Structure 1
Amino acid sequence: MGKLRLFDIILDKPQTVYQAGELITGRVVLELDEPMKMRGLRVLFHGAANVHWTESHSTGSGKNRRTTTVHYNAHESYFEHIIVLYGKAPGESGDNPSHPQGQFTYQFQFLLPPGLPSSFEGAWGQVRYWVKGTIDRPWRFDHNCKRPFTVLSHLDLNTYQPNPSQGLEGKNEKTLCCWCCASGPISATFRIAKQGYVPGEPIYINAEIENNASRKMKASRVEFKQIIAFHATRKTRHSTNTIQTLQKGEIDAGGTESWENVQLVVPPLPPSHLVGCRIIDIRYILNFVVDPSGPAFDLEVPLEVIIGTIPLQQMWSNFSTNMNYNTAYGMGTEPTPMVAMPTAPPQGPPPTNPSAPGAPPPTYAECVFGKSRIADDQDNQYTRGELDYAPIYTYYNFNQGADQGQGQQPPQAWTS
């Protein structure tokens, strides 16, 4: 690119995960083959939430029928801060300096404000944080370099209300119709030992199904879902992501089926509710489903779980004393090995986490849904840096001892 040999932003924290109120430090590295005229070299710290979707609406009829596209938008700005590293501030008058050739390093720091929501990427909305370096050149295109980072807002399950350590149980039944005759009902009871979990923690699933219908059931399954509400002016739109599905096979007419301590491990996810953001809300549902063969609606038993970042105290005690998780909750039998416990995600320095002594040390992992394109209208072909990015969340390895030496790849269960 002519005079510009190197233009990069380096954040000092290796995993680039921060909390509200934390100081971000880093540096801009600039290398020029020859002097470059510029208004200034600056970095912009940006944090905001955005919601946007479109809908088509028709009015009139016949030849007067018209279709219009309606845009629904919402925006929250958390910070927008410019630091001048060389030259002039935006809009400042005076002569434009010429930056000398060679390699230069410019240090910067920025204190994150309090009350920030966690980073999040969704279908119709996002919470994004990034720092962008700009070489502002007169009468020429600017050079830009963009570096995203994650902000993680902690949700402590020990202070969450109502108490997420309490078990949950749901029941449902339905009667299937067979032509003009109704068969017996199918029923399902679904239980989990508690409501609150953190990424890396297993959820033990217990259920009983009674099939008193005159036909077999095709399958029973548990669907772990993320439900997001995007709030715009005058309207709310929802989207659902299926995080993971576990399934068992057929149930004969008049037969029964049991799920006994089947484990579903919570993958790296943002905490429930996205506290601090008023235009995006996140909930997590475990939905137990019985799927009849033939034409009929599924029988469903949903239970809402809370995903936090700091585990319940009882989990700390279990981990530190090497107690069996199953026995500690009085489940009575060994877990059914439908899904292997995951190994730890790629290791990094432990995040700043206000957990009590004895808690398993959390690590970091990219969000289970992978990377999103974070380029916006201000980015172009001259923007360098990381434009595909996945937020990074805490992850606890509760099966540390058993899985040592198993490798660092995410388990298949995360993408099932």
Structure 2
Amino acid sequence: MGKLRSFQIDLDNLQGLYWAGQTVSGRATVDLESEMKMREIRLNFEGKGYVRWTESRGSGQNRHTVTYSATEYYFNNVMSVFGKGLSGGDEYSLPPGQHTFPFSFVLPPNLPSSFEGSTGHVRYIIKGTIDRPWRFDDHTVRAFSVLCALDLNQLPLASQGAEATDSKNLCCLCCKSGPIVGTLKVNRIGYVPGESIYFEASAQNMTGRECGMSANLEMITTFHATRKSRQDRKVINTIQYQNLNPGDSTVWSGDRFIIPPLPPSYLVNCNIIDIRYIIKLVIDPSGPAFDLNVPIEIIIGTVPLQSAVQQYQHTLSSVQPSAPPAIAMPAPSYNESILGPTNIKDEGDGEHTQGQLTFTPTYTYYNWSKTT
């Protein structure tokens, strides 16, 4: 019958990270304890965007669940590495021991970046299958990250500053208090992971209540199904500031957000998932009242602004005077997403599926925080 010790896929790129258009190469390895009969060993290369969520409708006996979903394929290619797909025929066998099958696959251009979210994903996998006659097939899974370049130098708004102001009045029974006014400023809106976002905020509290102040870095993801869209908000980081007493005003500066490894803005080339980022000033009045939120949208790219690179190089030379002046764009490192791992097991994966069943995408990261 044949007994399988292990079935795995290894990539030549140990980080498992590729830019759209690059070649994915590696090998599938089958380790057998005894001879195994099979039809073939094949690899399925798949890139897919997928969105799905459910909502409850109605009440009582009329209560029901509505499912919203959408799918788009970027590629779906099958490659036979042993057996009938190469030689024809239906009966083959492999002797005991370890057997290695190399593969190479060119990614199409214009792929969206990898993304794993609670409601949808853009996912790239290689799924290996040992097709066995009259028995359950054996499978293995290997996911990898794909990056789509988002060059901030090609986006005119990325180098520009932004300012936002908003206000609100608090109501208590039939009385209206004076307003809360908040202003948020940034000197530019384009950044790459690893850079620091310095901001300045100001606030006036003309109410009779104490107000808390904080700033958030938030990720806003919109999932588009065929009949409806859904938006998820995730707070990436929060910075607290001192409370603001009634009648007081303040100016808040000097704090920063360091952008962690995150997917680039917009999720370019994906039509069913959109990603935006904001920094937001939050003024929270004590007692029953809605917060005052003052947001500014920022852009997170994969290629930094040239002006930011020059500033970084100037700062580096002042910190390390003996360092030679850098001319070329500094190369990024690549770090796993701050959003953490995702279970990528499909409905059809069971006890006969090996490999990588949890996955964390990898993104660009410029380790500039110590000097900027």
TM-score between both structures, scaled by the size of structure 1: 0.84
**Which residue does the alignment assign to 2:321?**
none
**Which residue does the alignment assign to 2:258?**
265
Cα distance change, pair 69–181 in 1 and its aligned pair in 2 (3 A):
closer
**Which residue does the alignment assign to 2:71?**
75
**Contact (CA 8 Å) 1:26, 1:108: kept in 2 or not?**
yes
- Please list the CA deviations of residues 128-178 of structure 1 after superposition, one character each: whole Å capped at 9, or x if unmatched: 001111111011111111010000111000002x42111010111122223
**Which residue does the alignment assign to 1:36?**
36
Q: Which moved more, 1:103-112 or 1:182-191?
A: 182-191
Aligned length: 365
**Which residue does the alignment assign to 2:322?**
none
Amino acid at match of 1:204: Y
- Please list the CA deviations of residues 325-383 of structure 1 after superposition, one character each: whole Å capped at 9, or x if unmatched: 9xxxxxxxxxxxxxxxxxxxxxxxxxxxxxx9533321111111100000112211111
Tell me, in whole angstroms, the C-alpha distance in 2 between the residues paired with 1:53 and 1:22.
33
Query: 1:8: how far off?
Result: 1.4
Question: Which SS does the other structure have where 2:308 is aligned?
Answer: helix
RMSD: 2.1
1:236-255 counterparts in 2 under 5 A? Answer: 236-255=229-248
- Please list the CA deviations of residues 27-79 of structure 1 after superposition, one character each: whole Å capped at 9, or x if unmatched: 111221221100111111111001111122228xx8xx422222111000111
**Contact (CA 8 Å) 1:12, 1:25: kept in 2 or not?**
yes
1:273-288 counterparts in 2 under 5 A? Answer: 273-288=266-281
1:204 and 2:198 correspond: yes
**Among 121, 133, 136, the residue aligned to 2:131:** 136
Question: Which SS does the other structure have where 2:157 is aligned?
Answer: coil
**Contact (CA 8 Å) 1:318, 1:324: kept in 2 or not?**
no
Query: 1:297: how far off?
Result: 1.2
**Which residue does the alignment assign to 1:290?**
283
**Which residue does the alignment assign to 1:223?**
216
Tell me, in whole angstroms, the C-alpha distance in 2 between the residues paired with 1:323 and 1:385.
43
Query: 1:106: how far off?
Result: 1.0
Cα distance change, pair 368–154 in 1 and its aligned pair in 2 (3 A):
same
Structure 1 segments unaligned to the other structure (5+ residues): 326-355, 403-416
**Which residue does the alignment assign to 2:350?**
380
Query: 1:321: how far off?
Result: 2.2
Tell me, in whole angstroms, the C-alpha distance in 2 between the residues paired with 1:323 and 1:136.
57
**Contact (CA 8 Å) 1:226, 1:241: kept in 2 or not?**
yes
Tell me, in whole angstroms, the C-alpha distance in 1 between the residues paired with 2:316 and 2:90.
70
**Contact (CA 8 Å) 2:203, 2:249: kept in 1 or not?**
yes
Query: 1:191: how far off?
Result: 0.4
**Which residue does the alignment assign to 1:48?**
48
1:15-414 counterparts in 2 under 5 A? Answer: 15-58=15-58, 65-89=61-85, 94-160=89-155, 162-217=156-211, 219-322=212-315, 357-399=327-369
Structure 2 segments unaligned to the other structure (5+ residues): 319-325
Tell me, in whole angstroms, the C-alpha distance in 2 between the residues paired with 1:58 and 1:300.
33
Greater share of residues in strand: 2
Tell me, in whole angstroms, the C-alpha distance in 2 between the residues paired with 1:12 and 1:384.
19
Query: 1:287: how far off?
Result: 1.3
TM-score between both structures, scaled by the size of structure 2: 0.93
* Identical amino acids, percent of aligned pairs: 48
Amino acid at match of 1:188: G
Amino acid at match of 1:96: E
Tell me, in whole angstroms, the C-alpha distance in 2 between the residues paired with 1:224 and 1:401.
21
Q: Which moved more, 1:313-322 or 1:265-274?
A: 313-322
**Contact (CA 8 Å) 2:284, 2:291: kept in 1 or not?**
yes
Query: 1:249: how far off?
Result: 2.6
